A and B are shown apart, each in its own frame.
Chain A
Amino acid sequence: MTKNLRVKTSKFIDETYKISFKFNGTTYYGYKGDTLASALLANNIHLVGRSFKYHRPRGIMTAGSEEPNAIVQLHKNSSRTEPNVRATEVEIYEGLEATSQNCWPNVNFDIGGINNILSPILPAGFYYKTFMWPANFWEKYEYFIRKSAGLGKSPTMPDPDIYEHKYIHCDILVIGAGISGIMAAKTAAQNGFKTLLVDEKPYLGGSTIYQNSEHFKINNQISSSWLDKEINEIKKFENLEIKTRTSVAAFHGYNFLLARENLTDHIPLEQRNNKTRQRLLKIRAKKVITATGALERPLIFDNNDRPGILLSSAIEKYTNLFGVACGEKNVLFTNNDSAYETAISLYQKGINIEAIIDNREEIDSKLIKEIEKNNIKIYKGYTVVDTSGYKRINKISIMQLSKDGQKVIGSKTSISCDCLGISGGWTPAVHLFTQSGGKLKFRDEDQVFIPDKYPSNQISIGSCNGDFTLDEILSNITNKLKEFLNIKKTDYENLEIYSSFNKSKRNIWLLPSDKIIGKTKPFVDYQNDATAKDIKLALREGFRSIEHVKRYTTTGMGTDQGKLGNMHALGIISETAGSKMGELGTTTFRPPYTPLTFGTIVGRNVGEYFDVFRKTPIHDWHVKNKAEFENVGQWKRAWYYPKDGENMYDAVQRESKAARDSAGILDASTLGKIDIQGTDASEFLNRVYTNAWSKLAIGKCRYGLMLNEDGMVYDDGVTTRLGENHYIMTTTTGGAATVLGKLEDYLQTEWPELDVYLTSVTDHYATVSVCGPNSKKIVSQVIPDLDFSDENFPHMSFKNTKIDKIKCRVMRISFTGEHSYEINVQANYGKSVWEKCMEAGKEFNITPYGTETMHLLRAEKGFIIVGQDTDATMTPIDLQMDWIVSKKKYDFIGKRSLYRSDTIRDDRKQLVGLLTENPDEVLEEGAQIVADIKKSPVEMLGHVTSSYYSPNLKKSIALGVVRGGKNMMGQKLIIPMENKQINVIVADPVFLDKENKRLNA
């Protein structure tokens, strides 16, 4: 089976540099310059994978990034293994290991191949239709579907490679370094523009660079030689940066583009360590020149997917660029002149051509004449109707086409072959253009979509703009560049172009067959196994929109986004449905153009850099004292401090008890703090809080509730009046930024007349909160000069003072219901103040507690946590907090909404306390609350929002929201759980110290 099909030295292949690699466990050899695909073909290997649905044997179809079939898994190493890599893009290196995907146990014998035999019962939408019923069977189906489906395996270990993001700003970005791109880049650079030229391939020059035909000449030189000189020239410009192996993934609005630059994928693994593997380039270009070329179309006929069937242009590239023959008995099947270029390349290298099948009847061009001169048989007006050969094509059957191209006539002729090149003409690669928001127009004469309206400062040139022949490309480019770059002349004004290409094409989207459509398998989307039959079925079943047909048949939904077959799908839809191509539109091409690795997308933002996190100035102390942390917004907050192997429950019970029995200490530095100054500060607070602020005396604190304009609770916190025109507001930890944003919004846009200035000072202060019956004794030791008597320093007041010459603000406020103080000090003194309190509190068993204990303590007091007990559907009235809503104030944010017909309903969900019948049973937060379990359907009245076992009350307590709960006091409700029902009694949400005696204890 293994044979050497290397035909002739190519300047792109270094035959002195032999490389060994493994494919499916067998060692093969190739040369430096080979791709995995070209090296496999040189070893006469076509079968490289199995198709997704029918598990049909599939071979290499293309020589580029549009490859649908030859997708492989790279590397055995579990941390670097990578699925869905196109063999046509992988440059081989010593030690490369690749395996086929989609087959088990191996590519030559694949059990899933049974699907091919079952294919008559696996039509489009089969999965949708079959596995949806009965619904509860889905889990069972899923197991089998997942086992037999899926493309490749993901790595199980962390990625060892380094990835980067890089910003690039340039005047001109040129995408694609084919002949058009090279000319554009040179012209831009010559005129002083800072230019970036990128190409996905490792070499420059596109498909022109390997043309050796006398039939294409520029200034009397073979086109590749002419281009070679141009390439050498562009390398000299200092203002021109060239990046190969760089694929533009996305073209967004305002000329913002993302590209992936491959840096190490082509070198042996052991040389990759400590090098950046891939870079995500974030490019902002003043102008973009798209020169992405065109993709050759396949032809759609029965069994057009066998290994050994390639695009004709791919065969030409393998021959000319890699020096590899794709077969020994080659047949070409075409509807246009391109296949004759391939034929000439093969002929020049002495590769046998059995025949050329051309569906055009009357054809004439210099290319065709040369072929005929060499006695190669051309079947004019014929079509391929079938192929055979399971793992490699071995025969084709051809028949004559009727005049209208709708039928086949006459008798069948067989031609044996081991390789079939197909050419259905060209499709401009407009993917990036459409991503950028560009609108296409349909050109009837050759049935292509080309750029019409540009959404930004950009142009498309060359074959991606629908200029397919050398003379068209070159003659249009000069004027386009002059206009776009606003320059007087280019180097390319008077090129002498010689081109033998005839543009005639006989476009038949689905070629006729002697069999009826149901009996054939003409593949439109190779990767997803969608056939013309599937598309017709979808239309019969009533699908009309191209987007619906696409999803129903999965056409174009593979990793290749149907680069080859999308046009045929459209063509078949338009013919079957009788609608015009131009009116049908195309499906949307979405980024990325070719798949990106996750590594590229995240760049360096991995591990601890994945997301920003914030630490309080006391963080190190918490770490040293073995705190467990929880994330609150971006903050790391001490959650609880387990002692001697305690679990969370035990630690929280101990901490909660200590705080009420003697003293607890909490790091409250994360609370949002906004400094508010200005002559209208009091008026401003009046407008943003529900309660009244004008009469708050200097030195006093007040709790405030902030609503959205819709009346729903938005944030809460204590605000202190520091001076006549000076307040400090605290917000919830998570709400700090949004509260500041909202306040700024109102100040700037609704009330610009107010003299108020807001400054975020959250990070500027550390806040140490000491609570419990012994808190006064502790804090007065830390601040001996301050008079802590209730007369001088009552609850809800504040003092400016000093600790060892360091200024601090002490607030006597409480979120636990205990007598407590919050010391605010410049952030960098936070840890030392904390340690002073710990030292002073030693004799009182001062106990550091985290957020969990804080939540438990406040729940005992029935204090809400915005975001836990509220969810943007709760008004203060729903929370039974009517007391904080001013009746006197004319207006505040959200006031009008509090008496909308909806917000005054009695049966809104309202916050209540819940006590379990069994005081030891603790409810689950989020559990549903019902009244009547027998009613069908069971009516959900609400849910549990907070629930704890209270060590201080020695019973389970919970808060919950219940429809009409306010009027259910003492009523029994039910919490249905998976295995039991829990009975609860609706209670006052304040469970402990209703008289607030402890605040002054």
Chain B
Amino acid sequence: MFLINCPYCGEREQSEFKAGGEAHIIRPKQPTELSDDQWAEYLFMRKNIKGIQFERWVHTHGCRKWFNVVRDTSNDIIKAVYKMGEKPPIK
């Protein structure tokens, strides 16, 4: 079970959080302008990386805030956490 450093509350058990999938997928501003394929790209396509992955987490049983996590999926080590809207601190 991970320890996750919530940017608002500090380090907490993973059981307080929920994962929310890949980060930095921006909802299109004008969905109606998109073709089926373009919309499907946004809606369905997600990466599943072995290695460094950028993902969204929410502190469900805490501050209820969403934030981003950089996690190495091969060993679950969390490299960084940062707030929504911020740039990833590592590439």
Contacts and interface: CB of A to CB of B under 8 A. Distances in A.
Answer whether A and B are interacting partners: yes
Interface string B43-86: 10000000000001010100011100000000111000000110
Contact of A744 (B27, B30, B66, B76): B66
A897 B39 contact: yes
A829 interface: no
Contact of A895 (B31, B64, B65, B77): B31
Given A253-B2, A752-B85, 14 more contacts: A253-B1, A253-B75, A253-B76, A254-B2, A254-B3, A284-B3, A744-B64, A745-B66, A748-B66, A890-B32, A891-B31, A897-B43, A900-B40, A901-B36
A970 interface: no
Interface string A812-851: 0000000000000000000000000000000000000000
A744 B60 CA distance: 10
A539 B27 CA distance: 52
A568 to B, nearest CB: 30
A281 to B, nearest CB: 14
Nearest to A708: B43
Interface residues of A, number: 23
A319 B56 CA distance: 59
A784 interface: no
Interface in A415-459: 437, 455
Contacts of B60: 741
Nearest to A747: B66
A674 to B, nearest CB: 13
A455 B75 contact: yes
Contacts of B58: 741, 744-745
A417 B61 CA distance: 65
Contacts of A744: 58, 64, 66
Given A744-B64, A744-B66, A896 B85 contact: no
Nearest to A709: B43
Given A455-B75, A709-B43, A895 B32 contact: yes
A890 to B, nearest CB: 7
Contacts of A380: none
What 4 pairs across the A-B complex have the smallest Cβ distances? A896-B31, A256-B1, A748-B66, A750-B27
Given A744-B64, A748-B84, A901-B36, A437 B1 contact: no
Interface string A250-268: 0011101000000000000
A749 B84 contact: yes
Given A252-B1, A253-B2, A744-B64, A710 B76 contact: no
A253 B60 CA distance: 21
A741 to B, nearest CB: 7
Contacts of B20: 745
A254 B32 contact: no
Contact of A710 (B1, B2, B43, B65): B43
B19 interface: no
Interface string A468-502: 00000000000000000000000000000000000
Given A748-B65, A748-B66, A254 B39 contact: no
Contact of B39 (A455, A745, A890, A896): A896
Contacts of B31: 891, 895-896
A897 B34 CA distance: 11
A752 B39 contact: no
Nearest to B66: A748
Contacts of B64: 744
A896 B2 contact: no
Contacts of B65: 748
A931 to B, nearest CB: 30
B27 to A, nearest CB: 5
Interface of B: 1-3, 18, 20, 26-27, 30-32, 34, 36, 39-40, 43, 56, 58, 60, 64-66, 75-77, 84-85
A944 B68 CA distance: 43
Interface in A744-760: 744-745, 748-750, 752
16 contacts: A252-B1, A437-B76, A709-B27, A741-B18, A744-B58, A745-B58, A745-B66, A749-B66, A749-B84, A750-B26, A750-B27, A752-B84, A891-B32, A895-B31, A896-B32, A900-B36
Nearest to A751: B27
Nearest to B3: A254
A745 B67 CA distance: 10
A852 B56 CA distance: 40
Contact of A749 (B1, B18, B56, B75): B56
B59 to A, nearest CB: 11
Nearest to B40: A900
B68 to A, nearest CB: 9
Nearest to A760: B64
A388 B1 CA distance: 50
A752, A895, A896, most chain B CB atoms within 10 A: A896
B71 to A, nearest CB: 11
Nearest to A167: B13
Nearest to A252: B1
Contacts of B84: 748-749, 752
A254 B1 contact: yes
A748 B64 CA distance: 10
B77 to A, nearest CB: 8
A896 B65 CA distance: 27
Nearest to B76: A253
B79 to A, nearest CB: 14
B75 to A, nearest CB: 5
A254 B5 CA distance: 13
A432 to B, nearest CB: 16
Nearest to B4: A254
Nearest to A253: B76
Contact of A896 (B3, B34, B75, B76): B34
A820 B68 CA distance: 46
Nearest to B39: A896
A897 B58 CA distance: 26
A890 B32 CA distance: 8
Contacts of A254: 1-3, 76
A333 to B, nearest CB: 42
Nearest to A255: B3
Contact of A437 (B18, B30, B75, B85): B75
Nearest to B74: A437
A744 B58 CA distance: 10
A304 B65 CA distance: 61
A614 to B, nearest CB: 16
A436 to B, nearest CB: 10
Contacts of B26: 750
A896 B40 CA distance: 10
B47 to A, nearest CB: 18
A849 B77 CA distance: 53
* Most chain B C-beta atoms within 10 Å of own C-beta, residue among A709, A745, A748: A748
Nearest to A901: B36
Contacts of A437: 75-76
Specify which of A254, A749, A750, A895 lies most central, judged by the most chain B CB atoms within 10 Å of its CB: A749
Contacts of A748: 65-66, 84
A709 B28 CA distance: 11
Interface string A144-183: 0000000000000000000000000000000000000000
A455 B76 CA distance: 9
Given A437-B76, A744-B64, A752-B84, A900 B39 contact: yes
A677 to B, nearest CB: 16
Contacts of B76: 253-254, 437
A353 B30 CA distance: 87
A687 to B, nearest CB: 10
Contacts of B56: 749
A752 B84 CA distance: 9
A165 to B, nearest CB: 13
Contacts of A749: 56, 66, 84
Nearest to B33: A896
A895 B28 CA distance: 12
Nearest to A710: B43
A455 B40 CA distance: 38
A120 B89 CA distance: 64
